[in-house]
Amino acid sequence: MTDTKRLMDRVGRIGLVLSLGLALVPLWPGPGANAALPLRIIIKLRAELSSPSTPTGHPSLDATLAHVGVQDMAPLFDLSSGDAALKQSLGLEHIYLLTLPASSDLETALATLAANPLVAYAEPDYIGYGAGAPNDQWFPYQWSLHNTGQSGGEVGADVDILAAWEVTTGLTSTLLAVIDTGVDLDHPDLATKVVAGYDFANSDADPQDDHGHGTHVSGIAGAITNNGVGMASVCPACRLMPLKALNSDNWGYYSWWIAAIEYAVDNGAHVINMSMGGSDYSQPLRDAVRYAYNADVPIVVSMMNDGNDTMYYPAAYTETIAVGATDRYDDRWSFSNYGSHIDLVAPGAAILSTKWDDTYVIWDGTSMAAPHVAGVLGLVHGLRPGFTVKELRAVLKVTSEDQVGPANEDKKGWDQYFGWGRLNAAQAVRYVVPPAGVTLNGPTTGLASSDYTFVATVSPTTATQPLTYTWQASGQAPVVHSGGLSDTVTFNWAVSDTHTVTVSAVNFGGAVSGSHTIAVWAPTPGAVITVCRSGGCHFDTIQDAVDFAVDGVIIRVATGVYTDVNTQGGLAQVVYVDKSVVIQGGYDLDFAAPLNPDAHPTTLDAQGAGRALYITGNVSPTIEGLNITGGDAAGLKGGLG
C-alpha cells in the first residue's frame, strides 16, 4: 500500500471513529510497576519435598532459601485439578514460586539458588505486557470479517466470515479462554457469553476488566452476534472464559500467565487466546504451554508490535500459534512483528470491538489479530472436537490465503512476514467437514479375465477437496487415488466368485465408505456361453466368446449376420478357432427355442476381407448351424470360405 493510501486510510479511520462516537485510545500504556513490589523468583527442584513450603525437609535447600530471604514458597502448578498424570510427566509438580523482600538483590538471589544441587533452575518471575452479515449495528464497519471496500479497503481482504457461518457459527459448548486484562462482565454484547473465570492479578474470582484490552480482544473472538446491536464476532456461539493475568496497567507476571494457562486447561477451555508477550524466555512458562499442548488445547498468541523480528514469549515457543497483523489492504500492519516463529497473519489494524465502558472502540495491534484466529479455532472445534493441536495447526497452514500481501514480503509458501498466509475462516471450516456420503456404481455380473470399472461419487457437501480414495477388492491389491468429488478404478478377476468392492473417501475432516458386489463367472468344460447382436448375452462377437472359452465349452450363437473381421494368428477372418469348442448357430434371440438353423439363420460373412472361419490344425472344434460365406479361400490352410 502506498504512503498516500496509508494516510487516507488513517484519515478515514479517524472519520469513522468520529462518526460512530467512538474514541481512539492508546493500547500500550506504561507498566506503572511499583518499585516496592516483592521480588518474585521461580525455581524447579530436582527432588520431592516432604512439604510444599518452608521448611522443605531438605536441610541444604532450607539453608539456601533462608540465606536469600525467602518469605513465601508455593507450588506454581496445582496437581489436585486437571490431568495430574500429565502434569507429573512434565515435571510440573517440582516448580515453585518464591517471594523475597523488595530490597533483595535479584542477581545474587538467582546465583545462590542455582548453586544449590537440588535446584534445577532459578529464574525471575518475568513481566510481560498486553500487545496492544448479521443485523448487528456496527457490522458494516467490521472490515476484518467482511471487507466490501468500505473506507477504501481492498474487497475480500478479510477472513471470509459470512461463508464460514454458512457452515457453522460454533457451539455453545466450546469455551474460548481469554487470558488478558479481564472482560467487562456487564457489556451488552458480552455479558451472556461469559462463564466463570478468575483474576490472577488480584487473586480473586472477579475478572472484571480495569484496563480495556481484554474486553476488546474478547469481543473479536466471541461477542454476541446477530442481536441487532453492537458488533459481530468470529465465533458467535462460543462462550468466553475471562482469565485476568494483566493488571490495570496492562502488565503481568509470568506466574500469573502460567496459572491462567493451567486454569484454562483444567477447567475445560478448548482454545486459549493470549494477546500479550514478554521478551524473556521462561522455562516454567514453556512448561505451562507444553501442558496445554499435550492436553490438545491450542494457545493463540500475538506476535507483538515493534515492527521488527524481536521474539516475544509465549509466541516464540514452537507449541503456540503465533499471529501477526494485516490491514484492510492485505498489507502487513506496519508495527506487526515478524520472524522465524510466525505461523500466520490475521486482520489487526483498525479493528472495531467492545470497550470496557459498555461501548465500542477501534484499536490496532497483533492483539486484535490473535482473537480472529482463536475464534476460527473455536468454529473448527465445534466441527471436529477431537482434533489435536498438531491437526489444528495443519488446518490453519493449509487453509490460510497465501500471497495476498506485497510480493516482496508474502512469498509462496511460508515466509517470515505472513507465515503460511492470511487467515481464511471459510476455508478452515470447510476443510474439516467430512464428505456427506459416497455412492459406488459398477456392474453386478461379469466374466472372468475382463476389465470392470467402478465409479465412486461423493455426495454434495461443503467439504473442501482434495479427497483420498482407497479401493479394495477380494483378490486385488489396494488402489489409492487422490482426486475430486468422483473417482474410478478398474479390476479384473480370473476365477469365478462373488467379489466385494469397497471404497473409502477421506478428507481432513473424516471418511465415508461404500461397497458393491459383482458376480464373476469363469467357464469350465460343458458350460454354455451365448452370443448375440441384440445385447443381453455374454458376448456380441463369436471371436470374443472363443477367446474367453476353454476346451469343451459350448458357444451358442443367436440368429444374425456376423462380419467382425480380426487378424488373430496373423490371418484375416471373422472367427479364429484355436480351441476344441462347440459353436452352434441357429438360435433365436432369447435362446428359448431349440437349435433351428432354418428358422434362425446364423451367418459368418467375411465380405471378401478374409476367411469367414479359420481353424488351426491342432484343435478339434465342432461347428454346427453356421452359414459360411464371403471368404477368400486362397492360401489359408485350414480355413473355411
pLDDT band at residue 35, thresholds of 50, 70 and 90?
very low
Instruction: Determine whether 255 is an active site residue.
Output: no
pLDDT band at residue 52, thresholds of 50, 70 and 90?
low
pLDDT of residue 106: 93
Instruction: Determine whether 367 is an active site residue.
Output: yes
Q: Which of 180, 266, 327, 331 is catalytic?
A: 180
E strand or H helix at 253, and its extent? strand 251-253
CB contact burial 76-104 (16+ within 10 A = b; e otherwise): bbeeeebeeeebeebebbbbbbbbbeeeb
Closest by alpha carbon to 90, among 258, 339, 315?
A: 258
- Spell out the residues 6+ positions from residue 325 whose beta carbon is closer than 8 angstroms to its own: 302, 303, 305, 332, 333, 335, 336, 345, 346, 347, 348, 349, 364, 365, 366, 368, 369
pLDDT of residue 385: 94
Phi and psi, residue 51, nearest 5°: -140, 140
pLDDT of residue 144: 64
- Spell out the residues 6+ positions from residue 465 whose beta carbon is closer than 8 angstroms to its own: 483, 484, 485, 507
Report the 10 Å Cβ neighbour count for 515.
12
Tens digits of residue pLDDT in 117-170: 999 999 999 999 987 544 555 656 676 676 777 667 778 777 777 878 788 888
On the question of pLDDT at 13 being above 50, the answer is: no
Contact status, residue 94 vs residue 45, Cβ threshold 8 Å: yes
CATH of domain 438-521: 2.60.40.10
Contact status, residue 326 vs residue 157, Cβ threshold 8 Å: yes
Neighbour-count burial of 8, counting CB atoms closer than 10 A to its CB (0-12 exposed, 13-18 middle, 19+ buried):
middle
CA distance 592 to 227: 75
Q: Half-sphere exposure of residue 148, counting CA atoms within 13 Å on the CB side?
A: 7
Grid cell 539453608 is found at 63
Tell me whether the omega of the peptide bond preceding residue 124 falls within 30 degrees of 0, making it cis: no
On the question of pLDDT at 23 being above 50, the answer is: no
| C-alpha 413 chain-centroid distance | 17
Helix axes 59-68, 106-115, angle to 10 degrees: 170
pLDDT band at residue 580, thresholds of 50, 70 and 90?
very high
Contact status, residue 320 vs residue 289, Cβ threshold 8 Å: yes
Tens digits of residue pLDDT in 58-86: 899 999 999 999 999 999 999 999 999 99
- Spell out the residues 6+ positions from residue 240 whose beta carbon is closer than 8 angstroms to its own: 175, 176, 177, 178, 183, 190, 193, 194, 195, 218, 221, 222
Instruction: Determine whether 534 is an active site residue.
Output: no
CA distance 139 to 137: 6
Report the 10 Å Cβ neighbour count for 28.
16
CA distance 629 to 641: 6
Contact status, residue 602 vs residue 557, Cβ threshold 8 Å: yes
pLDDT of residue 449: 86
E strand or H helix at 470, and its extent? strand 467-473
- How is the chain split into domains, by residue range? 39-125, 129-431, 438-521, 528-640
Architecture of domain 39-125: 2-Layer Sandwich (3.30)
Give the percent of the chain with pLDDT over 70. Answer: 88
Tell me whether the omega of the peptide bond preceding residue 435 falls within 30 degrees of 0, making it cis: no
Tell me whether the omega of the peptide bond preceding residue 207 falls within 30 degrees of 0, making it cis: no
CA distance 499 to 471: 13
Mean pLDDT of 605-620: 87
Grid cell 487473586 is found at 203
Mean pLDDT of 215-233: 92
Position with higher pLDDT, 609 vs 428: 428
pLDDT of residue 204: 97
pLDDT of residue 14: 32
Grid cell 518464591 is found at 98
Q: Is 421 in a helix, a strand, or coil?
A: coil
On the question of pLDDT at 183 being above 80, the answer is: yes
Tens digits of residue pLDDT in 382-438: 999 999 999 999 999 999 999 887 898 888 999 999 999 999 999 999 888 888 889
E strand or H helix at 68, and its extent? helix 59-68
Contact status, residue 184 vs residue 393, Cβ threshold 8 Å: no
Report the 10 Å Cβ neighbour count for 586.
22
Architecture of domain 129-431: 3-Layer(aba) Sandwich (3.40)
Mean pLDDT of 573-582: 93
For residue 281, the 8-state DSSP code is -
Largest CA distance in the chain: 123
For the chain, the average pLDDT equals 87
- State the Rg of the chain over Cα: 38
- Spell out the residues 6+ positions from residue 635 whose beta carbon is closer than 8 angstroms to its own: none
Q: Which of 58, 187, 213, 216 is catalytic?
A: 213
Cell of residue 290, nine digits: 507444553
Q: Is 222 in a helix, a strand, or coil?
A: helix
Mean pLDDT of 564-578: 90
Cell of residue 180, nine digits: 488478558
Q: Which of 367, 400, 487, 499 is catalytic?
A: 367
Tens digits of residue pLDDT in 92-121: 999 999 999 999 999 999 999 999 999 999
pLDDT band at residue 376, thresholds of 50, 70 and 90?
very high
Tens digits of residue pLDDT in 305-341: 999 999 999 999 999 999 999 988 889 998 999 999 9
Instruction: Look at strands 175-180 and 554-558 and give their pairing.
Output: unpaired
Neighbour-count burial of 12, counting CB atoms closer than 10 A to its CB (0-12 exposed, 13-18 middle, 19+ buried):
middle
pLDDT of residue 21: 30
- Spell out the residues 6+ positions from residue 180 whose beta carbon is closer than 8 angstroms to its own: 130, 209, 213, 214, 217, 218, 242, 243, 244, 245, 246, 273, 274, 275, 276
CA distance 23 to 20: 9
Least confident of 336-340, 458-462, 580-584: 458-462
